[in-house]
Chain A
Amino acid sequence: MWPKVPEGKESPQSSPVPVQAPMNAGVGSLASVVAPVVMNPASLPSQIPQSSAISAGLRIRGEITGHSDLLIDGQVQGSIRLANSKVTVGPHGSVQADIEAREIVIEGKIRGNLNASENIRLGPKSDVQGSMLTPRVAIEDGARLRGKVEMLRPGEAKRGAAAGQSKTSVISTPIAALKE
Chain B
Amino acid sequence: MNWMAKQRFGVSAATAPREPAHKPGPATAVAAAPPANHRTSNGLKEFLWLINDVRNGRILDLGQVSQATLTFFIEKGYRISTEDFLRSWKEFLTAEEERLRLAPVGDEGDKISQARLAEMFLEGSLHYPEESFHGVLAWDLFDYFDAELLPRVMERLYSLLHPAGALLAMFHSRPAERFHRYRIVNPQTIELLPAPTLAVHARVFQNREILDLFGKFRSSKTFVGRDQLREALFLK
Contacts and interface: CB of A to CB of B under 8 A. Distances in A.
Interface of A: 1, 3-4, 122, 137-141, 143-151, 175, 178-179
Contacts of B94: none
A146 B80 contact: no
Contact of B87 (A139, A144, A178, A179): A144
B190 interface: no
B129 A149 contact: no
10 contacts: A122-B65, A138-B67, A139-B67, A141-B193, A144-B87, A147-B81, A148-B79, A149-B80, A149-B82, A178-B129
Contacts, number: 55
Contacts of B66: 139, 141
Given A122-B65, A141-B67, A149-B80, 18 more contacts: A1-B81, A1-B126, A1-B127, A1-B128, A138-B67, A139-B65, A140-B67, A144-B64, A144-B84, A145-B82, A146-B84, A147-B82, A147-B83, A149-B74, A149-B79, A151-B74, A179-B130, A179-B132
B160 to A, nearest CB: 10
B70 interface: yes
Contact of A148 (B64, B81, B87, B193): B81
B58 A149 contact: no
B52 interface: no
Nearest to A144: B84
B129 A143 contact: no
B132 A178 contact: yes
A120 to B, nearest CB: 11
A126 to B, nearest CB: 10
Given A143-B65, A175-B129, A149 B81 contact: yes
A158 B235 CA distance: 40
Q: 8 closest pairs, A vs B, by CB? A: A145-B65, A139-B67, A148-B81, A1-B127, A175-B129, A178-B129, A146-B83, A178-B132
A143 B66 CA distance: 8
A146 B88 contact: yes
A148 B132 CA distance: 12
Contacts of A148: 79-81
Interface string B192-224: 010000000000000000000000000000000
